[in-house]
């Protein structure tokens, strides 16, 4: 990444954009952290129409390794267009 520390409050203000198709996935709604303290991924609203059909799912899980860059206003992620987004399973 870019060597800057961010709080959750700062991250949730940034728009998540998929660099593969330019689609805006919304703002971060949650962060998944491993019990050892390592960030595992981010959770964004994604396509709310699709995910509302999945019981108990509030968004899509974006693995941390798919986060390309965190900028001033945006979080760029690389989600392959051929792969369906991973539903959030509460980490």
Mean pLDDT for the stretch of residues 52-76? 82
Model confidence at 11: pLDDT above 50: yes
Burial 23-61 (b: 16+ CB within 10 A, else e): eebbebbbebeeeeeeeebbbbbbeeeebeeeeebbbbb
pLDDT, residue 53, reads 47
Domains of the chain, CATH where assigned: 8-87 (2.30.30.240)
pTM: 0.77
Terminal CA-to-CA distance of the chain, rounded, Å? 22
pLDDT, residue 59, reads 84
Rounded percentage of the chain residues whose pLDDT exceeds 90: 63
Query: From the centroid of its chain, how far is CA 59?
Result: 9
């Amino acid at each position: 990444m870019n060597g800057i520390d961010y709080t959750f409050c700062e991250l949730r203000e940034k728009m998540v954009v998929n660099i593969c198709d330019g689609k805006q996935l919304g703002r971060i709604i949650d962060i998944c952290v491993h019990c050892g303290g390592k960030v595992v991924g981010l959770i964004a609203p994604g396509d709310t129409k699709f995910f509302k059909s999945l019981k108990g799912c509030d968004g899509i899980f974006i693995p941390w390794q798919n986060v390309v860059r965190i900028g001033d206003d945006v979080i760029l992620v690389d989600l392959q267009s051929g792969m369906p987004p991973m539903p959030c399973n509460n980490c």
